[in-house]
Structure 1
Amino acid sequence: MSDKKLKLVLCWHMHQPEYRDMQSGEFKLPWTYLHVIKDYVDMVAHLEATPAAKAVVNFAPILLEQIEDYSNQVSGYLHDRIAIKDPLLAALVEPSVSADPEKRLKLLRDCRKANRERQIERYPAFRKLIDMADWIEAHQDSVNYLNAQFISDILVWYHLVWMGETVKLNDNRVKRLIEKGSGFSLHDRIEIVEIIGDLLSKVIYRYKALARKGRIELSVTPYAHPIMPLMLEIDSAREAMPGVILPAISHYPGGEERVRWHLQKGLATFRHFFGFEPQGCWPSEGSVSQRTLQVLADFGFKWAASGGNVLHNSIRACGIGEAVSVHRPFKLGSAEIACFFRDDGLSDLIGFEYSKWHADDAVADLIQHLENIADYEKQSPLVSIIMDGENAWEYFPDNGYHFLSALYKRLSEHPRIELTTFSEYLDSAAPEAGFLPKLVAGSWVYGTFSTWIGDADKNCGWDMLGDVKIAFDKAVANGNLSEQQLAVAQVQLGVCEGSDWFWWFGDYNPGEAVSDFEKQYRLNLSNLYRLLGEEPPPYLALSFTQGSGSPAMGGAMRRGNQL
């Protein structure tokens, strides 16, 4: 056994796409506030509870803006009775239930969107309501026989099961409502909104407070989460997928200008919420290319990170052998920026396997892997575990509470493992970075861009984006937009350029998720055309992709390694 210390970075990426109709301000999907009350509050609570723990927490700027909007809307309702612009959240405070059968059915469908094993089955009272809702879905002519109490109870329970485990353990209001179990009143529903408001208003500050104390490092993603390498050069997809079929557009018009806009806007948003400049950038989906790293270096970032398979592809392309340690940062050519690479195997164990294990066994297994790495490596290694900060935990018992509690405790106490951050590692007397003569463009998913381009439906999405960008450029060149109109159109274009729409296009994804995101994408594009003073093309009135698949974890996550 070696006495070398292994340095470990846990990097949690917090990200939701723009769910608002940017013209009306209405939230079309509720996932931002639901992940706040379940995941973002739990994740910060675990860090608060373990003073010796350290981590990197990365925020997509467009997520921060939505959290602020939700917080303001809930505050506006509670203080001035201003309507909330999220249908599901607003339903909690509606004095009476709509008589419209379609609205009732939609509400029941929305309240069934929870993990069956971990959220629904855990609470018999909620399971009974969901069983009834399932029956009504199969017998829709019965929906008018539902009374208001059923709707009230299923709404309250849905929000209770989405509460974080640390909230359930510490908030007496939540404890009381769970114990009550049924017969929820309007007062109870308003109390749920008050709880949600408390969580929304404090969550960003809690991360900021930990960063000020040096307990975490905060980093940033480009504003609306675009795939920067593809915007800079669509052909970069061929570097890891030589035979890929690309969209009809040979390049994204003005791609570098748009990448720089997302970075500038993202940094400004980060400063607004946290009051300082981040030193690191998790490029959207860990997507990197040689040109992307150079642009990030131009913006003064000290580090970026990507998937382990990007490094493996690059090592093979450089012909420098597979014996090169992946557990350290690398630099490319003359660029000053260091690039860290995710240990895909360890990250995927947390994301896809450990939810099936007892928490103590899972943490012991992870530590055994880390000890083996420390024994094997000749120099003190830096291991990067990088993953979504929200999507895995609903598959764990009690939202990952036992796993995360044990993880931070065991790691922070381990004599051979040192939790650190990327910037702290670079500032320490760490080994020099490795040198890469060439970087093969790719992402943290399989080391390729196959999740966002190459499929016929994904390519169709890119061609639609290319069409609206050409219309945007034409409107700007003709001077059709005032300064204020241009600023609004820039943001709307940024939303259209986000990665999430392309992620979900394709029949291998679940039908409902594909439909939700495809509708949102067409709405985003249509809104931009109208801002430019044009009628949207007729094809935007028609669905262009449908899903029928059943991927692991519902498709919200992907493995770093393809099975």
Structure 2
Amino acid sequence: MPPARALHVILCWHMHQPDYRDGHGEYRYPWTYLHACKDYTDMVAHLEENPAARAVFNFVPVLVEQLQDYVEQFAEGRFRDPLLRVLASEDLENLAADVRHYLLEQCFRLDREHMLNPFPGFRRLYELWQFIRQDASEMVDYLSVQYVADLVVWYHLAWTGETVRRQTPLIQELMAKGSGYSWEDRQNLLRCIGDLLAGLLPRYRALVASGRIEISTTPYEHPIAPLLLDFAAARDGEPDAQLPNCPAYPGGEARVHWQVDAALDRHRQDFGMPPQGLWPAEGGISAPFVEILAGKGLQWTATGEGILARSLSRSEAGDAPARERHDYLYRPYRLRGEGPWIFFRDDALSDAIGFDYKSWFGHDAVTDFVQRLEAIWRATENQAFPVVSIILDGENAWEYYPYNGYYFLSELYRALANHPHLQLCTFRDFVRDHPEAYAVLPQLAAGSWVYGSFSTWIGDPAKNRAWDLLCSAKKAVDEHLPALAPEQQNRVRKQLALCEGSDWFWWFGDYNPAESVRDFDRLYRAHLRELYRLLGLAAPAELDQPISQGGAPAEAGGTMRRSHHQGD
């Protein structure tokens, strides 16, 4: 029985990977299936193990599309991912030199503290590589076939979830063996990975069917929709932001409709029902975008609390007395009393999970988290149905936790599910069960969950150049699309959507690690070149020039951002 007066707690885990495939369907990077083996499996397992727990999982359609593509690869036995091809290859002795170089570059890309150092066998491989890498171009050919076999096995073992390790005898046996992995070992590991991927989405669907989780969606390829609608939205949070030379993204409103409609259609196919809510890419929101969501019949959306503070400040004309955070944050809103309910995340609690608790003992972190929720429960005693929204990346944080966050997450769900004053729920259920529990928001500021602005995706010279390249490609699409056959038109629209994704713009800038910037820079320009190819046009020569170099270290490897600059 729920408590008489509860603080409703909504945990929303955002699952997203951009499309890593090139124009031939080959995967440039393996992050989708690696995160599936480690993070998507662990996240669903924690819910399965605690029947009283409730949560929301936001699956971006392009992620689901890639997961299903990997399942098909395993079913066919033909791999379009180079890392899986090596794992599946019987003949490692005759690997091409470029493949060996690729393995040595790829198979040490992880957090060494938590994913390499705990495993002596993997650590020895790394130490040997460090010893000879000074002259890597020559010495790489001296590494034995057994070294290559052990390396590719250990990398995949390091990318298995903690729940998988605890429940899978094969994984335990391979980790205990430590070295000297055979062809049979690699085949067994390959089958294990295939089974994990094949069973993943059915596990989430089963939890949806039992009412224990809600699955929401995002515009198909994860674009920053408010910027597609109007570049000037960037100046809502950054008045002096420099905008691209292109005054506006051509036909942006139609493209936003395409991205949302495609996501809704894909969600129905993948999960058997329409989504009730939509998490906008990076929490990027604006009044025109919310109006589009209202027209699609969506019941809820969400963003960061900084957007709410700016919105209320404008709505109250700046002359209202300053209010305490708990007086306005822990309730949903509707823009002018209409359209989808808008939930605003508690940035501090969300960032604590995403960034801070990774260095705590799991029990201590859960105790602190629950105490902070209890303080909110006490502070909102004058509210009938207070709700706190905790929304964050559901995959990248755990790499930096011991045991992939196992002890923190398992105890977190137990503590919240059994607390006398806290009630886990979903956005859908809260809207259904408390139909009058929203407040009216007269105005809505534009921005994202990162710094409350769009500065992560626009305003920097490199980001603006990327937008100008996209605008030029979109103009070419508008000019040449009508002459193409219908099937080819659909391919062009899909490729254009891919180029509109947020991830490319996220990585451009000197504040990100050079290695990651290089990868996403290359892939973005390759996607644009493929778009021109589909149009039957030669790609502009400027697409041969890098957009950004990067070079600075970043927290969590740059894959996540805090809601505020540290020190704010």
Q: TM-score, normalised by structure 2?
A: 0.96
Counterpart of 1:139 in 2: which secondary structure? helix
State the one-letter code of the partner of 1:201: A
The equivalent residue for 2:86 is 91
Name the structure 2 match of 1:115: 111
Aligned to 2:469: 464
> Does 1:396 find its partner at 2:401?
yes
Q: Is the 8 A contact 1:225 1:499 kept in 2?
A: yes
Q: Give the deviation of 1:366 after TM superposition.
A: 0.3
2:454 corresponds to: 449
Trace 1:200-215 onto structure 2 (pairs within 5 A).
Answer: 200-215=197-212
Q: Which residue of 1 aligns with 2:190?
A: 193
Q: 1:96, 1:148 within 8 Å by CA — same for their partners in 2?
A: no
Work out the CA distance in 2 between the residues paired with 1:216 and 1:393.
20
1:352 matched residue in structure 2: 355
Return the match for 1:361 from 352, 356, 364.
364
Give the 3-state SS of the residue equivalent to 1:263 in structure 2.
Answer: helix
Match of 2:69 in 1: 69
> What's 1:425 paired with?
430
Q: Is the partner of 2:364 in helix, strand or coil?
A: helix
**What CA deviation, in whole Å up to 9, does each residue of 1:424-465 have, x standing for no partner?**
111113653111111110001011001100000000000000
Corresponding residue for 2:16?
Answer: 15
Cα distance in 2 for residues equivalent to 1:382 and 1:146? 57
Unaligned ranges ≥5, structure 2: none
- Cα distance in structure 1, aligned partners of 2:129 and 2:258: 46
> How far apart, in 2, do the equivalents of 1:262 and 1:430 lie?
29
Q: SS of 1:218's equivalent?
A: strand
8 Å Cα contact 2:510-2:552 kept in structure 1: yes
Whole-angstrom CA distance in 2 between matches of 1:164 and 1:538: 43
Q: Distance in 1 between matches of 2:20 and 2:359?
A: 31
Deviation at 1:3, TM superposition (A): 7.2
Superposition pairs of residues 277-296 of structure 1, within 5 angstroms? 277-296=274-293
Q: State the 1:336 CA deviation.
A: 2.0
- 1:93-123: CA deviation from partner (whole Å, max 9, x where unpaired): 1222345433212211100011110010110
AA at the equivalent of 1:72? E
In 2, the alpha carbon distance for the partners of 1:304 and 1:121 equals: 41
Residue-by-residue CA offset, 1:123-144 (whole Å, 9 max, x unaligned): 0110110111223332212111
| Segment of structure 1 superposing worse, 219-228 or 427-436 | 427-436
Measured in 2, the distance between the counterparts of 1:212 and 1:103 equals 44
Trace 1:161-240 onto structure 2 (pairs within 5 A). 161-240=158-237
Structure 1 residues 427 and 481, CA, compared in 2 at 3 Å: closer, same or farther?
same
**What's the counterpart of residue 557 of structure 1?**
560
Rounded to whole Å, the distance in 2 between the matches of 1:182 and 1:318 is 64
Among 214, 224, 248, the residue aligned to 1:251? 248
Q: Does 1:507 align with 2:527?
A: no
**One-letter amino acid of the structure 2 residue matched with residue 235 of structure 1:** A
For 2:6, give the aligned amino acid.
K
1:236 and 1:60 map into 2 onto residues whose CA distance is 23
d(CA) in 2 for partners of 1:68, 1:106:
25
Partner Cα distance (2:519, 2:91) in 1: 27
Displacement after TM superposition at 1:322 (Å): 4.2
Structure 1 runs, 4 residues or longer, greater than 4 Å off: none
Q: In the aligned structure 2, how far is the partner of 1:50 from the partner of 1:3?
A: 23
8 Å contact from structure 2 (residues 150, 179) kept in 1: yes
Q: How many residues get paired?
A: 554
The whole-number CA distance in structure 2 between the counterparts of 1:27 and 1:322 is 52
- The answer to whether the Cα contact below 8 Å between 2:337 and 2:439 also exists between their aligned partners in 1 is no
Q: Which of 114, 128, 135 does residue 132 from structure 1 map onto?
A: 128
How far apart, in 1, do the equivalents of 2:519 and 2:452 lie?
Answer: 27
- Residue 88 of structure 2 aligns to a residue whose secondary structure is coil
Contact 2:283 / 2:302 at 8 angstroms: preserved in 1?
yes
Match of 2:262, as an amino acid?
K
Unmatched 5+ stretches in structure 1:
78-82
Q: Percent same amino acid among aligned pairs?
A: 47
1:87 positional shift: 0.5
* TM-score, normalised with respect to structure 1: 0.97
Superposed counterparts of 1:531-546, under 5 Å: 531-546=534-549
